[in-house]
Amino acid sequence: MIEVFGEFIEEFLPNGDFLELSFTSSSQPNQRRWHNNRLSAHFIADYFANLMNFDQNDLANKERIQEIKNTISYISNELLENAIKFHEDTKSYQVKVGMSFPEDTDVAIVIYAKNSIYSEKVQKYQAFINLLLTEDPNELYIQQIETASAEEDSKASGLGLLTLINDYSAKLGWKFEPESSQPEIITVTTMVQVVVQSVRTY
């Protein structure tokens, strides 16, 4: 049974650009591989920045472009880091990260990542999503930091997603879809929508 939470777009608008990267790895994660997350995030940002037509003489545009690139890099990196950290059954299924960049930049850009998890992890994950959707994200962030600080070895879970909501005014959405051939494996798509103000174009 497919389950959707938050703000989730099933199909991207036909106008605009789209990019998706897929990763498979039979090897254990290590520092070199981890470094590829940031490389991928910067690549996605550069790819779209290159497509933005802008008036080179307008200095304000240079700052806007830099800000948009930073936003895309940060969001892509966070989603990819989470997808890789929580990905299970690594041999059979891929981690993906992708972006949709509509022609009309007043419409939100969409960045998403997909990873696979075993069905027994779903309940806890969805409980956390409900927390994100119902609680004040600013308060939740402070609470999570104070908890993480108090416990030596706690994993600071969910802080990445909270920074997206609080610092980037992002809307988050999730889809949980069981694999048809192996329903105990669930593909989770985490989606971020963020509006970037249009850059003056010629």
Residue 167 CB, nearest approach to other proteins (Å): 4
The full length of the chain comes to 202
Residue 21 CB, nearest approach to other proteins (Å): 17
- Residue burial 37-51, b: 16+ Cβ < 10 Å; e: rest: beebbbebbeebbee
Residue 46 dihedral angles phi and psi, to the nearest 5°: -65, -40
* Choices 18-26, 86-94, 123-131, 152-160 (CB under 8 A): range interacting with other proteins: 152-160
105 binds other proteins (CB under 8 A): no
Residues 6+ apart with CB under 8 A from 183: 119
13 binds other proteins (CB under 8 A): no
# of chain residues touching other proteins (CB under 8 A): 32
CA distance 84 to 195: 26
59 binds other proteins (CB under 8 A): no
145 binds other proteins (CB under 8 A): yes
In the beta sheet, which residues pair with residue 21? Answer: 97
Residues in the site for other proteins, rule: CB under 8 A?
31, 34-35, 37-38, 63, 66-67, 70-71, 73-74, 77-78, 81, 85, 138, 141-142, 145-146, 148-149, 153, 155-156, 159-160, 163, 166-168
